Structure 1
Amino acid sequence: MTVLKAVHEAHGATFREQGGRRVVDHYGRSERTHAAVRRVVGFCEFGYGVITVTGDDRVEFVDNAVSNRVPSTDGQGVYALLLDPQGKITTDMYVYNAGERLLVFTPPARAEPIAEDWAGKTFIQDVEVEVATDDFATFGVHGPKATEKIASVLNGAASPDGGLGFVRGSMADTGVTVIRDDGLAGEEGYTVVCTADAAEDVFDTLENRGMNAAPFGYRTWESLTLEAGTPLFDTELEGEIPNVVGVRNALDFEKGCYVGQEVVSRVENRGQPSRRLVGLTAEAVPESGAAVFAGDSAVGEVTRAVDSPTREGPIALALIDYDTAGDLTVRIDGEERTASVVDLPFVEGSDESARLPTYPDA
């Protein structure tokens, strides 16, 4: 559950369940909030699951488990995946080297099973794994003025440079860690992490101090990330092979063996996965799972769709057969409606999403 239920309620929030946690869906007028983030800056409380990994062998242990190279330097982070033996994504995560411990941010429902699995695999290694979800609050700050917003309220450090690097400082006399985001909303972005008991002060600081910022909920986050062409775990990534959804930023093909690597490497060496994630425009907003057709043949399905506040029209992400070409239709309310593949991102903002789907021949 959000650690700021009363604060969100005072702002008129409507809630929903996300991965077993209660989070803010919206505060009303979500299109207006979306536009505020695209023009200036906004912030959202995110419901991550959090795992701490300590012990002398912590970096080696996690590095052997995930798809990307875990940084050995304090102040650096990486985006990575856990894969099953068939090479399919069981979760995505951010791993941050915080000195004497690693902090691992996961989808909320994945923290406990991952921690339990890892704790059972430490054997003789000096590693301790704990779930720390309730100890932290996490806020995303996004928009073309996000850097100015952070600079206006962060004390004791400069805004971090580079993808997933972070600094430690304070906001309103509260200790915080500020991480440079990887552009998931298509705008400059930062993640602000604080202890749960400091969350209310940090929320107030982000909203009202320095440069004001508008709070937003997950509904706006989903429309922002869709416009940016960012695949999300719940809708695009879970159960897929990484090469299919194009998340090459989560893979280090030169590192040692990890679960599922052989399958992913085979796809990479072949140069072409079976399917690809594309952007679609359509005559109306299709539902998730709506079938996509080329002529009379079903070639894929929609993963997520919105009526884009910025483009003022329906947009969607869809997984389709890799070699699909020509005119497409998508099934909407039982009828075949014209759809077109378009280049991603749908909207170009102040940054580009590091998860923008890319493929070997692109």
Structure 2
Amino acid sequence: MTVVRDLHEDYGAVFEERGERVLPRHFGRPARTQRAVRNAVGVTEHAYGVLVVTGDDRHDFVDNVVTNAIPETDGEGVYALLLDAQAGIRTDMYVYTTEDSLLCFLPPERVGEVADEWRENVFIEDVEIAEATDDFAVFGVHGPEATEKVASVLHQSGAPDAPLSFVRGEMYDHGVTVIRTDSPAGEEGYELVCTADAASDILETLLTRGLNAPPFGTRVWEALTLEAGTPLYPHDMAGRVPNVLGLRNALDFEKGCYVGQEIVSKVENRGRPSQRLVGLRLDGDAEDVPAIDDPLDVRVDGRTVGEATRAAWGGAVDAPLALALVSYDTEAETATLATADGERAADVVELPFLVGSDRSARAPRYE
């Protein structure tokens, strides 16, 4: 459940369930709100499950099981993955280092399972894992004027500059942690973390004080990230080998072992994963976005070359868009998407569709 449902309702929110969380899907006229974020700035509530890892051995413990090197310096973070034995993605996460803990932000539907598994794997290490999802709220500020927006309401600190770094400040008499994001929407972005009891004041401040910023929900977030070429969990990521998605920002091949690392390394050394992530641009308006409840076949000259994982209205390019995983050697400029209403023609586009005020660190890169 969102910790500020009443306030979202005051702004006309339509809700949806995400795991055990209920979040705003949209606030009406999502296409217009999408343009507002691209042109200026908007505010959203992000759904995260939160784990707090403490103890003297916390750094080595988490570092040994995820795909990226965990920073040791207070105020720094990293994007990382948990893999299964076949190198498929089990979940993604952000890990932030404080003086006395690691804060792990995961999809809310995965946090309980990961917490239980990590506890079972603690033997002689000095490590404690606590679930803290209900203790925090996380609000996103995204758009080319995001820095100005945060600066207009944040006190006792300036906005952080480096991606996935954070600072501590004050907003409306409440302490907040401000994280510079890795730009999944293709724009400047920040996430503001506060205690649950401060959430209503913080959201009201973000919406009504300083630079104007309208609220937006998950529908706009999915569209913004699709335009930016950012794969999302679980839609585009669950069970996929990270090399296939071009997620180089989530991998550190120099660090110690983690489950599935050998397979990922072999794919890397071979230099050619089996598939790659591309974009599909279709004809039509905002009412013509294909529904993708399950992956849809992508075909070239009648031959299936891959599958589309999700679709959204691309307001920045004025067309329905989709993400698709296709055979790595697919060079066709056009394809067809097999929808429930028949095949639809699409242009095959290298991602991202759009680079706004910043480039998504998760946009695919194949080297």
TM-score (ref. length: structure 1):
0.98
Give the aligned length: 360
Q: Quote how far apart the aligned CAs of 1:334 are.
A: 4.1
Secondary structure, aligned partner of 1:67: coil
* Residue of structure 2 equivalent to 1:313: 319
Equivalent position to 1:335, from 339, 342, 355: 342
Aligned residue type for 1:87: A
Q: Quote how far apart the aligned CAs of 1:263 are.
A: 0.7
* Residue of structure 2 equivalent to 1:205: 205
* Residue of structure 1 equivalent to 2:248: 248
**For 2:242 and 2:305, how far apart are their aligned partners in 1?**
19
**For 2:56 and 2:163, how far apart are their aligned partners in 1?**
26
Equivalent position to 1:348, from 349, 355, 362: 355
Aligned residue type for 1:5: R
* Residue of structure 2 equivalent to 1:218: 218
TM-score (ref. length: structure 2):
0.96
Aligned residue type for 1:302: A
The equivalences for 1:97-246 within 5 A come to: 97-246=97-246
Q: Quick check: 1:287–1:302 contact (8 Å CA) kept in 2?
A: no
CA offsets, 1:250-307, max 9 Å, x none?
0001101111100100100110010111011123533322211111211111111122
**For 2:20 and 2:81, how far apart are their aligned partners in 1?**
20
Q: Quick check: 1:286–1:302 contact (8 Å CA) kept in 2?
A: no
**For 1:242 and 1:161, how far apart are their aligned partners in 2?**
27
CA offsets, 1:339-362, max 9 Å, x none?
2211222122100000001112xx
Aligned residue type for 1:310: A
Secondary structure, aligned partner of 1:205: helix
Aligned residue type for 1:352: R
**For 1:283 and 1:313, how far apart are their aligned partners in 2?**
6
Query: Between the two proteins, what is the percent identity of the paired residues?
Result: 58
Higher mean C-alpha deviation, range 296-305 or range 52-61: 296-305
**For 1:283 and 1:265, how far apart are their aligned partners in 2?**
39
* Residue of structure 2 equivalent to 1:286: 290
Higher mean C-alpha deviation, range 31-40 or range 189-198: 31-40
Q: Quick check: 1:80–1:93 contact (8 Å CA) kept in 2?
A: yes
Q: Which runs of 5+ in 1 are unaligned?
A: none
* Residue of structure 2 equivalent to 1:298: 304
Q: Name the Cα RMSD after superposition.
A: 1.0
* Residue of structure 1 equivalent to 2:364: 357
Q: Which runs of 5+ in 2 are unaligned?
A: none
**For 2:186 and 2:81, how far apart are their aligned partners in 1?**
21
**For 1:149 and 1:339, how far apart are their aligned partners in 2?**
37
Aligned residue type for 1:317: L
Q: Quick check: 1:57–1:125 contact (8 Å CA) kept in 2?
A: yes
**For 2:196 and 2:212, how far apart are their aligned partners in 1?**
22
Q: Quick check: 1:282–1:330 contact (8 Å CA) kept in 2?
A: no
**For 2:300 and 2:350, how far apart are their aligned partners in 1?**
18
